[in-house]
Chains A and B, each alone.
Chain A
Amino acid sequence: YALSGLKWHKTDLTWSVHSYPSPSQSPNLPDILVDNILRSAFKAWSNVAPLNFRHVATDSGGTAAGGDIRVSFNRLFHDDGYPFDGQGGTLAHAFFPGSAEVAGDTHFDDQEVWSYGGDSSSTDLFAVAVHEFGHALGLSHSSSDPSIMKPYYQGGVGDIVNFQLAVDDKLAIQQLYGVRDTAPSDGGDPHLPRLPSPPPPRPTQLSDPSFNERCQGGFDAVANIRGEVFFFKGAQFWRTKRDGSLVSNRPAQIQNFWMGLPPQTNKIDAVYERKSDSHIIFFIESQYWVFKDTEAMSGYPRPLSDWGMMRRNGQPVDKVEAAFIWAHNGKTYLFSGGEFWRFDESQKRQGVHIQPESGYPRDNSLWAGVPSHMDDIISWGEGDAYFFKDNFYWVLKNGGLNQEVVTPQSTAVDWLRCPAPPAEPTPVDPRFPKQCNCELNR
Chain B
Amino acid sequence: ITSAQSDQYSKAMDWLGRYGYLPPPDPRTGNLHTKEGIEQAIRVMQRFGGLQETGVLDSETIRLMSARRCSLPDIIGSEDRLRRKRRRRRKR
CA distance A380 to B14 in the complex (A): 12
CA distance A151 to B19 in the complex (A): 10
- Point out the residues of chain A lying under 8 angstroms from B70, CB to CB: 90-93, 128, 131-132, 135, 141, 151, 153
- Point out the residues of chain B lying under 8 angstroms from A330, CB to CB: 1-3, 5-6
Report A173-226 residues with CB < 8 Å from chain B CB. Answer: 224-226
- Point out the residues of chain A lying under 8 angstroms from B59, CB to CB: none
Q: Is A82 part of the binding interface, using a Cβ–Cβ cutoff of 8 Å?
A: yes
* Interchain CB contact under 8 A, A383 and B6: yes
CA distance A346 to B67 in the complex (A): 31
* Interchain CB contact under 8 A, A379 and B6: yes
- Point out the residues of chain A lying under 8 angstroms from B33, CB to CB: 226, 293
Choose among A91, A224, A252, A346 the residue that contacts B69 (Cβ–Cβ < 8 A).
Answer: A91
Given A90-B70, A151-B69, A243-B14; A398-B47 close (CB under 8 Å): no
Residue of B nearest to A278 (CB): B35
* Interchain CB contact under 8 A, A90 and B69: yes
One digit per residue, 1 when the CB lies within 8 angstroms of any chain A CB and 0 when it does not, for chain B 33-63 equals 1110010000000011110000000000000
Q: A141-B70, A145-B50 are in contact. List 11 more A-B contacts (CB 8 A).
A: A88-B68, A91-B69, A93-B70, A141-B72, A153-B67, A227-B13, A228-B25, A241-B25, A293-B33, A327-B1, A383-B7
* Interchain CB contact under 8 A, A275 and B7: no
* Interchain CB contact under 8 A, B10 and A93: no
- Point out the residues of chain A lying under 8 angstroms from B71, CB to CB: 82, 84, 90-93
* Interchain CB contact under 8 A, A239 and B19: no
* Interchain CB contact under 8 A, B3 and A227: no
Q: Is B4 part of the binding interface, using a Cβ–Cβ cutoff of 8 Å?
A: yes
Report B49-92 residues with CB < 8 Å from chain A CB. Answer: 49-50, 64, 66-74, 76
* Interchain CB contact under 8 A, B3 and A383: yes
Tally of contacts, chain A with chain B, CB under 8 A: 129
* Interchain CB contact under 8 A, A89 and B6: no
Choose among A88, A92, A239 the residue that contacts B30 (Cβ–Cβ < 8 A).
Answer: A239
What bracket does the count of chain B residues touching chain A fall in?
Answer: 35 or more
CB distance from B14 to the nearest CB of A (A): 4
9 contacts between A and B (CB under 8 A): A92-B71, A94-B72, A143-B48, A151-B19, A151-B69, A153-B68, A241-B14, A275-B1, A293-B35
* Interchain CB contact under 8 A, A248 and B50: no
* Interchain CB contact under 8 A, A224 and B74: no
CB distance from B30 to the nearest CB of A (A): 5
CA distance A51 to B11 in the complex (A): 40
Given A143-B49, A293-B35; A241-B76 close (CB under 8 Å): no
CA distance A269 to B34 in the complex (A): 23
Report A368-410 residues with CB < 8 Å from chain B CB. Answer: 379-383, 398-399
Residue of B nearest to A89 (CB): B68
CB distance from A259 to the nearest CB of B (A): 11
* Interchain CB contact under 8 A, B6 and A247: no
Given A327-B7, A381-B7; A135-B72 close (CB under 8 Å): yes
- Point out the residues of chain B lying under 8 angstroms from A239, CB to CB: 25, 30
* Interchain CB contact under 8 A, B76 and A4: yes
Given A226-B38, A293-B34; A152-B3 close (CB under 8 Å): no
